[in-house]
């Protein structure tokens, strides 16, 4: 079946709409390069399109209450004593720097996971027994403001090469800016890839500061091209490292193409959205979040971040196109097929943090290939996968302007009409939350002292309210798709932040170097440490992608301190959360993410919580599922998260129904 052109063209004949819908739906779910065992989980997001959906239905609403721990594996990365410096492999790094955000993959009978310290470990997926491990021995004395984190690996299988070394390869990008290729059967480096199994990524991207340029999300692979982005330490200077996305040959490691999200040449049609000076020196706009791919269409979907620095754009006038966008690149050439910008001239750190997620929706009875772009602002942009055209109306609406000398903002920003925003905009002082009168009074005073003129109020010298905050909204946990219902399910965090600009006193010190201003930012919290925004502080939301209608919304998680204190209504308050959902054909949504060290299962139809599985540490990761030996497993990384302050550990935990 040829899905990329022939079927789509025949769909112009209205008499063939029904049959074409079936064919296109099949194409969206499977391609020759992406076809595989439905019992496995061969990509970070389940499939190349990042749907986080499994057709396995052994665990369902009727038996999920019987789920129990099948096996637990400790990676050995960090100490399990949350108050102490990490022991063993972590050396001089501290547990607060370590974030176990990985989602394992299962391919060809092996479970493969990356640790925060960039080790790759292969396990028997039925027992959790270690098969091999690869340790790139990254430096642990780096000053990394993004911390030690790796969200996963990518797997590739060469045609007709079974039984040879590196016939199957596992790829990992490291925080030290290396791309490693190892043999999936043994963990040995692939000698024909780059320099003995390694390609350096810290070349050709400008001046690189120690510890500030690396990779935290897994590469994507389209046929014989492995595509990798980068993670940069934010807010350091204007001329940060370039956020280039690059494609390498999976066998040799040869660079095939490089695409810079900041256009450097007048030959690029988006060059006009920059000044000549800014296009020459500005860094960032990098793709740190997970990418996705449509193999049949030869497309890689790249979520880009903010141009440098995040909170003042006076040195980069214009819309700054390709930054804060989803960009569809041709996987074989790196050429731009289309792009859609979600924020013009960003000064809020509203980068696209979620993996663009591929889905098939219906419009007027016909099947349409789409990509869902979830944002920190709580927006869902649903775009045509082949053109980037919005499938629901998007309006350019006027937004507040800056009073800071030298800053010129876009007069408008894009707002989707449907689906409606999933995060509230703004908090009035009278809406401030607090468990006590003193806390509420303190929060009211904090909020009243901040600039708030509506959504996209820019940073200023007196401080501005950011709600949604720069952490989201929807972050790297992204969305999961129920393929049967065509619903998207996502974790939406609701925390208030403030950002304040300060006139620079020393041109060589501080952050945002190269601009007249430094910045400070923080969560807006009461004296007791709780957010000043009214709860719930995270929600789990389901949206119908055919109609744009919100189907349900429920609080996610509980704050352990409030549970211990016996606070009434704690089950309605949710908790801050980091991580994403998994949807299965059994009618279930699985998610950890919250602060209470629990994996939960929800009914996809209603959002009703059906089950809780205790975890030995914080589950700030996205779960996955597979079936082996006739038994379905649900696995999540439980290692805690330095930024959220959850229980530390280095565990993988697998749940399953009791053996029959």
Contact indicator for 486, 360 with CB cutoff of 8 Å:
yes
| Distance (Å, whole) CA 97 – CA 142 | 11
Q: Work out the pLDDT band at 285, boundaries 50, 70, 90.
A: very high
| CA torsion angle 276 410 245 259 (round to 10) | -40
d(CA 114, CA 96): 18
Reduced DSSP (H G I as helix, E B as strand, rest coil) percent helix, strand, coil of the chain, to 5: 10, 35, 55
Phi, psi of 543 (to 5 degrees): -130, 135
**Is residue 379 pLDDT above 50, yes or no?**
yes
> Of the residues 97, 260, 349, 650, which is catalytic?
349
Return the percentage of the chain with pLDDT > 90, whole number: 87
- Both structure tokens of 304: 């880009």
Q: pLDDT per residue over 231-251, tens digit each?
A: 999 999 999 999 999 999 999
Q: Is the pLDDT of residue 35 over 80?
A: no
Pair of tokens at residue 229: 């982005």
pLDDT band at residue 645, thresholds of 50, 70 and 90?
A: confident
The helix (run of H) or strand (run of E) holding residue 444 is helix 437-448
> How big is the CA angle at 353 (ends 514 and 638), to the nearest 5 degrees?
120
CA distances from 657 to 80, 194, 617, 632, 654 (A): 28, 44, 21, 8, 10
pLDDT, residue 226, reads 98
Domain borders along the chain are: 1-30
CB-based burial, 166-175: b 16+ in 10 Å, e otherwise? bbbbbbbbbb
| pTM given for the model | 0.93
The predicted pLDDT at position 161 comes to 66
118: left (phi over 0), alpha (psi -120 to 50) or beta: left
Burial of 376 (0-12, 13-18, 19+ CB in 10 A): buried
- pLDDT of 146-168, one tens digit each? 789 999 999 999 886 667 899 99
Residue 493 main-chain phi, psi, to 5 deg: -90, 145
pLDDT digits (tens, 9 = 90+) for 578-605: 999 999 999 999 999 999 999 999 999 9
C-alpha to C-alpha distance for 384 and 401, rounded to whole angstroms: 31
Pick the closest to residue 424 from 538, 593, 520 (CA basis). Answer: 538
Q: What is the pLDDT of residue 5?
A: 33
Whether 451 is catalytic is no
Hey, which residues does 148 pair with through a beta bridge?
98
pLDDT confidence tier of residue 34, bands split at 50, 70 and 90: low
Q: What is the pLDDT of residue 642?
A: 83
CB half-sphere exposure, 311, CA atoms < 13 A: 26
Query: Could you tell me the maximum CA-CA distance found in the chain, to the nearest angstrom?
Result: 70
d(C-alpha 604, C-alpha 430), whole Å: 35
Residue 510 backbone phi and psi in degrees, to 5 = 95, -170
CA–CA separation, 291 vs 228, rounded Å? 8
C-beta of residue 153 within 8 angstroms of C-beta of residue 112? yes
Burial state string for 573-611 with b = 16 or more CB within 10 A and e = fewer than 16: bbbbbbbbbbbbbbbbbbbbbbbbbbbbbbbbeebebbb
Mean pLDDT score of the chain, rounded to an integer? 92
Band (79; pLDDT cuts 50, 70, 90)? very low
Does 282 score more than 80 pLDDT? Answer: yes
Q: Which residues contact 122 (CB under 8 A, 6 or more apart)?
A: 110, 111, 112, 130, 131, 132, 133, 184, 187
pLDDT tens, 543-558? 999 999 999 999 999 9
Q: How confident is the model at residue 143 (pLDDT cuts 50, 70, 90)?
A: confident
Q: What is the per-residue pLDDT for 89?
A: 55
pLDDT of amino acid 23: 30
Least confident range of 7-21, 87-101, 280-294: 7-21
- Is the pLDDT at 396 greater than 80? The verdict is yes
Mean pLDDT calculated for residue range 562-587: 97
Distance of CA 198 to the CA centre of its chain: 25
pLDDT in tens, 399-427: 999 999 999 999 999 999 999 999 999 99
Supply the pLDDT for residue 1.
29
CA angle 273, 350, 538 (to 5 degrees): 160
pLDDT of residue 144: 77
For residue range 343-367, list pLDDT tens digits in order. Answer: 999 999 999 999 999 999 999 899 9
Nearest 5°: CA angle at 183, between 178 and 185?
145
Q: How far apart are CA 443 and CA 429, in angstroms?
A: 7
Q: Are strands 299-303 and 325-330 parallel, antiparallel or unpaired?
A: antiparallel
pLDDT tier, 9 (very low <50, low <70, confident <90, very high otherwise): very low
What is the CB neighbour count within 10 angstroms for residue 154?
26
pLDDT digits (tens, 9 = 90+) for 177-228: 999 999 999 999 999 999 999 999 999 999 999 999 999 999 999 999 999 9
- pLDDT value of residue 32: 33
Asked if residue 12 has pLDDT above 50, the reply is no
């Amino acid at each position: 079946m040829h899905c990329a052109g022939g079927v789509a063209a025949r769909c112009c004949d209205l008499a063939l709409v029904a049959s074409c819908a079936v064919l296109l739906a099949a194409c969206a779910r499977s391609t020759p390069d992406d076809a595989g065992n439905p019992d496995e989980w061969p990509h970070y997001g389940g499939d190349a399109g990042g749907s986080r959906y499994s057709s396995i239905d052994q665990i369902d609403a009727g038996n999920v209450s019987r789920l129990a721990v099948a096996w637990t594996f400790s990676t050995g990365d960090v100490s399990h004593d949350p108050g102490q410096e990490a022991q063993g492999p972590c050396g001089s790094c501290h547990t607060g720097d370590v974030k176990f955000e990985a989602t394992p993959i299962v391919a060809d009978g092996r479970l493969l996971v990356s640790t925060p310290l960039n080790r790759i470990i292969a396990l028997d997926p039925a027992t959790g027994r270690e098969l091999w491990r690869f340790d790139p021995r990254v430096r642990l004395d780096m000053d990394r403001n993004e911390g030690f984190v790796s969200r996963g690996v990518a797997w590739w299988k060469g045609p007709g090469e079974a039984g040879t070394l590196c016939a199957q390869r596992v790829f990992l990008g490291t925080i030290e800016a290396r791309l490693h290729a190892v043999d999936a059967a043994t963990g040995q480096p692939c000698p024909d890839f780059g320099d003995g199994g390694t390609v350096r990524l810290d070349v050709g991207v400008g001046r690189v500061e120690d510890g500030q340029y690396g990779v935290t999300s897994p590469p994507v692979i389209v046929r014989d091209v492995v595509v990798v982005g980068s993670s940069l330490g934010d807010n350091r200077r204007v001329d940060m490292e370039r956020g280039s996305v690059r494609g390498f040959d999976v066998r040799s490691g040869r660079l095939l193409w490089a695409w810079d999200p900041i256009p450097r040449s007048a030959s690029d049609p988006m060059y006009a959205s920059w000044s000549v000076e800014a296009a020459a020196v500005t860094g960032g706009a990098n793709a740190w979040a997970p990418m996705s791919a449509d193999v049949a269409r030869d497309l890689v979907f790249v979520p880009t971040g903010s141009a440098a620095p995040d909170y003042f754009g006076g040195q980069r006038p214009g819309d700054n196109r390709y930054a804060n966008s989803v960009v569809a690149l041709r996987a074989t050439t790196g050429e731009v097929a289309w792009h859609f910008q979600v924020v013009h001239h960003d000064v809020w750190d509203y980068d696209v943090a979620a993996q663009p997620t591929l889905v098939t929706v219906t419009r007027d009875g016909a099947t349409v290939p789409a990509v869902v772009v979830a944002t920190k602002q709580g927006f869902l942009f649903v775009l045509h996968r082949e053109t980037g055209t919005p499938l629901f109306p998007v309006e350019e609406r006027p937004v507040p302007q800056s009073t800071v000398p030298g800053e010129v903002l876009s007069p408008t920003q894009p707002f989707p009409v449907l689906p409606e925003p999933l995060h509230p905009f703004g908090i009035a002082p009278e809406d401030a939350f607090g468990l006590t009168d003193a806390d509420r009074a303190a929060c009211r005073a904090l909020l009243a002292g901040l600039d708030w003129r509506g959504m996209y109020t820019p940073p200023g010298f007196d401080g501005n309210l950011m709600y949604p905050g720069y952490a989201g909204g929807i972050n790297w946990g992204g969305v999961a798709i129920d393929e049967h219902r065509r619903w998207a399910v996502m974790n939406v965090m609701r925390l208030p932040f403030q950002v304040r600009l300060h006139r620079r006193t020393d041109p060589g010190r501080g952050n945002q170097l190269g601009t007249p201003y430094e910045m400070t930012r923080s969560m807006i919290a009461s004296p007791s440490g709780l957010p000043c925004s009214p709860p719930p502080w995270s929600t789990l939301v389901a949206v119908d992608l055919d109609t744009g209608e919100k189907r349900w919304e429920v609080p996610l998680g509980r704050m352990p301190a409030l549970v211990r204190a016996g606070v009434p209504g704690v089950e309605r308050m949710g908790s801050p959360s980091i991580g994403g959902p998994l949807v299965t054909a059994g009618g279930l949504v699985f998610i950890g993410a919250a602060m209470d060290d629990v994996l939960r299962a929800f009914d996809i139809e209603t959002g009703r919580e059906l089950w809780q599985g205790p975890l030995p540490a914080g589950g700030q990761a996205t779960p996955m599922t597979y079936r082996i030996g006739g038994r379905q497993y649900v696995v999540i990384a439980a290692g805690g998260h330095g930024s959220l302050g959850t229980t530390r550990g280095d565990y993988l935990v697998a749940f399953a129904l009791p053996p029959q």
